[in-house]
Amino acid sequence: MTRDEIFGKMKVILVETFEIEPDEIQPEALLLEDLDLDSIDAVDLIVQLQQFTNKKIDPEAFKKVKTIQDIVDAIYDLMGSGAIS
């Protein structure tokens, strides 16, 4: 799976789950500041991403992500290596 495909899926998840406008979802968008996703939303996002990847995502490791691109990169790595670290 390419980073572009992962970004596309992220966009769908953010629009459908959090009702974020599609044009606000850019790789450099900050999850907290730009998209207003709080810690509860982060848990929901992790659940969605686990369903998408069929892999376990460590919530502690997920705290390191700040932007949409960070998530895309982490998922890309997860798909290749089996764990987000």
R_g (Cα) of the chain, nearest Å: 12
> For 21-62, how does the pLDDT look when each residue is reduced to its tens digit (9 = 90+)?
999 999 999 999 999 998 889 889 889 988 988 888 877 777
Is the pLDDT at 82 greater than 50, yes or no?
Answer: no
- Residues 25, 11: contact at Cβ < 8 Å? yes
Select the CATH number that applies to the domain covering 3-81 from these four: 3.40.50.620, 1.10.468.10, 1.10.1200.10, 3.30.1450.10: 1.10.1200.10
What was the pLDDT predicted at 81? 55
Please enumerate in sequence order all residues whose Cβ is within 8 A of that of 53, keeping only pairs 6 or more positions apart, or say none: 75, 78, 79
What residue ranges do the domains of the chain occupy? 3-81
